[in-house]
Structure 1
Amino acid sequence: MENHTASYIAMPAAEGQTEAFAEFLAGAAPIVRETEPGTVLWFALQADDTLAIFDIFADEEARDAHFSGAVAAALNQNADALVDGGWDDGVVANINNSDVLSVKAPVNLYTATTATYIKLEAAPGKGPELAALLTAAGPIVADTEPKTLFWAALQIDENNFAIFDIFADNSGREAHFAGQVAGLLNEKAPELVSGGWDDGVLANVHNFDILATK
């Protein structure tokens, strides 16, 4: 999966449309399963009035197929009603594409109830070192974190990175943040992450409930 690509889109629900938007995304999962073989993983997520999609693709062609597929078309058609900012400002403007650096392969996906997305900006000149740390972290998560059901390190561009992971419950998330990889990132953050641990990592943690999964 290290050669795969990913996308993350956080979208604010239009006023009074949070429940309808959540139902729309939850209902999209079967369509993704049936029509998008190149979409390897797909998650619909919710944090209060913010809805999000995180997905991983086999390659760029699969990502292009996803964004020209039935779910994207339906979201485009309904965005003016469901998304604050509509299609252009509420969806397209919030797309973050990335390359997958390292993963813990998914296990027991359909038991997952909660997810975390963390965006990291490398300190000046430290992009390659942060990329190396995140790349090396995947096997550590796989070997030491049974409650982390999936984990991915992502590179958005030369200086921007992200981590996405899912858990069966909050105890899994707590174990992850008390684990070896979090400890290593905490130790190295003052050197490698703009803002250090508190302002560069913890301040950028976004926790979500999982609505649906492919």
Structure 2
Amino acid sequence: MPSSEVSLALFVPLISKGDKVTDVAQFLGAGYDLVQAEPETIQWFGIKYADHAPPTFAILDTFRAEGGRAAHLGGKVAEALMANAPALLAAGPEIAQPNVLANKVVEGDKSRTAGLGNGLRVMLTAKPEKVQAVKEFLIGALPLVEAEKETLVWYALEFPGTNGFAIVDFFAGESGRNAHLSGKVAEALFANADALLASPPDIVKFDVVAASVKV
């Protein structure tokens, strides 16, 4: 199955002011246009959490090397975000710089969502003594994900210096998301959650606002 040689990411939740939800979505659409000029930004996603209060969006992007991530942080998308944050956002933004432990990426089409419609964001907090075990679990889950034809993009992320991890995955539509939630990865995660995690997985459904996917 396809994968992408990315090793680094940025994950940026964006908490919208209540009257600025449409404006934040439009900002992410503009971010899509800007990121096309960044050859070292390999994948870029603008997403909106579903049925979430306060209204929350996020940006996830991936890179092959630190130079690419640094270029993005010093580039036009980040500049525009910081310039517009006071008007659009209720807080932040807080920019996390996770490592990519494992990934599956099927190259998208040429539309502004790359053929992706929705996804899941799963935050995981490992027990202090189980950090390495969680890392190994996520890396070991990749073959299960590769067997899921409707899981088009999947990342296992590690937040360095913390007990935090995340899974972020994308699907064309609701059938793919439902299949993943009832599949072997989810089954294995919940079977091991009590032993490995300090708290239950925090699962949020999201819709894709814009996506640029290359491998």
Normalised TM-score (structure 1): 0.88
> What are the residue-to-residue correspondences of 1:2-151 with 2, within 5 Å?
4-33=7-36, 35-47=37-49, 49-85=55-91, 90-91=92-93, 94-108=94-108, 110-142=114-146, 144-151=147-154
Q: Which runs of 5+ in 2 are unaligned?
A: none
Indicate conservation of the 8 Å contact 1:20/1:82, yes or no.
yes
Indicate conservation of the 8 Å contact 1:3/1:101, yes or no.
no
The code of the aligned residue for 1:111 comes to G
C-alpha separation between the residues in 2 aligned to 1:140 and 1:2?
Answer: 19
The code of the aligned residue for 2:82 comes to N
C-alpha separation between the residues in 1 aligned to 2:6 and 2:150?
Answer: 25
Deviation at 1:59, TM superposition (A): 1.3
The superposition leaves residues 111-170 of structure 1 with CA deviations (integer Å, 9 ceiling, x where unpaired) of 11102111101123011111101001112211x210101111111125211101001112
C-alpha separation between the residues in 2 aligned to 1:132 and 1:64?
Answer: 28
The code of the aligned residue for 1:156 comes to F
Deviation at 1:15, TM superposition (A): 3.3
Q: 1:54 to 1:164 in 2, by over 3 A?
A: same
Is the deviation greater in 110-119 or in 145-154? 110-119
Q: Which runs of 5+ in 1 are unaligned?
A: none
Secondary structure, counterpart of 2:78 in structure 1: helix
Aligned residues: 200
**Equivalent in the alignment of 1:207:** 205
C-alpha separation between the residues in 1 aligned to 2:132 and 2:31?
Answer: 37
Q: 1:106 to 1:42 in 2, by over 3 A?
A: same
Indicate conservation of the 8 Å contact 1:46/1:52, yes or no.
yes
The code of the aligned residue for 1:102 comes to A
C-alpha separation between the residues in 1 aligned to 2:187 and 2:203?
Answer: 15
Indicate conservation of the 8 Å contact 2:5/2:64, yes or no.
no
The code of the aligned residue for 2:142 comes to G
The superposition leaves residues 81-113 of structure 1 with CA deviations (integer Å, 9 ceiling, x where unpaired) of 11113xxxx11xx22211111111224461111
Normalised TM-score (structure 2): 0.88
The code of the aligned residue for 2:21 comes to T
Q: With a CA cutoff of 8 Å and minimum separation of 6, indicate the structure with the bigger relative contact order.
A: 2
C-alpha separation between the residues in 1 aligned to 2:6 and 2:16?
Answer: 32
The superposition leaves residues 49-70 of structure 1 with CA deviations (integer Å, 9 ceiling, x where unpaired) of 2111011111111111111101
- Is the helix fraction higher in 1 or 2? 1
C-alpha separation between the residues in 2 aligned to 1:185 and 1:106?
Answer: 23
